A and B are shown apart, each in its own frame.
Chain A
Amino acid sequence: MTPRQKRLTWILVGVGLVAAAVGLVLFALKNNVSLYFTPTQVYNKEAPQARNFRIGGMVEEGSVQRQKDGLTVHFKITDTTNAMEVVYKGILPDLFKEGKGVVAQGKLNADNVFEAEEVLAKHDENYMPPEAMDAINKAKQAEAKAAATK
Chain B
Amino acid sequence: MAINWFKYSAPSTFYGLAGKLIPWFSWPAAALFAVGLYIGFFVAPTDAIQSEAYRIIFIHVPASILSMFLYLIMAGYAALGLIFKTRLSAMMASALAPTGALFAFISLWTGALWGKPMWGAWWVWDARLTSELILLFLYLGFIALQASIEDPRRADKASALLAIVGSVNVPIIYYSVQWWNTLHQGATIKMTGTSMHVAMQQSMFTVLVACWLYAIAVGLSRVRSIILEREANTQWVKELKEVRE
Contacts and interface: CB of A to CB of B under 8 A. Distances in A.
B45 A129 contact: yes
Interface string B101-116: 0000000000000000
A121 to B, nearest CB: 6
A100 B118 CA distance: 12
Nearest to A122: B183
B91 interface: no
Interface string A73-99: 000000000000000000011110000
Given A22-B168, A120-B120, A128-B197, A11 B126 contact: no
B83 A8 contact: yes
B143 interface: no
B12 interface: no
Contact of B182 (A35, A38, A121, A128): A35
A127 B180 contact: no
Given A4-B83, A8-B83, A18-B165, A35 B172 contact: no
Contact of A35 (B48, B168, B180): B180
Contact of B188 (A36, A95, A119, A127): A127
B141 to A, nearest CB: 15
Contacts of A37: 181
B205 interface: no
A60 B188 CA distance: 24
B172 A22 contact: yes
Given A34-B180, A35-B126, A126 B196 contact: yes
Interface string A11-30: 10011001100100010001
A38 B181 CA distance: 9
Contacts of B79: 11
B194 to A, nearest CB: 9
A39 interface: no
A62 interface: no
B42 to A, nearest CB: 14
The range of chain A's interface size is 35 or more
The range of chain B's interface size is 35 or more
Interface of B is mostly: loop
Contacts of B164: 11, 14-15
Contact of A34 (B48, B84, B181, B200): B181
A129 B188 CA distance: 15
Contact of A18 (B49, B168, B188, B196): B168
Contact of A11 (B57, B82, B124): B82
A103 interface: yes
A124 B168 contact: no
Given A35-B127, A56-B181, A26 B48 contact: no
Interface in A93-133: 93-95, 100, 103, 118-133
Nearest to A93: B120
Contacts of B125: 35
Given A11-B83, A35-B181, A132-B48, A126 B165 contact: no
Interface string B47-68: 1111000100100000000000
Interface of B: 45-50, 54, 57, 79, 82-84, 117-121, 124-127, 164-165, 167-168, 172, 179-183, 185-188, 195-197, 200
A-B pairs, top 10 by smallest CB distance, nearest first, are A93-B120, A129-B45, A133-B48, A35-B126, A34-B181, A125-B188, A126-B195, A34-B180, A130-B48, A127-B196
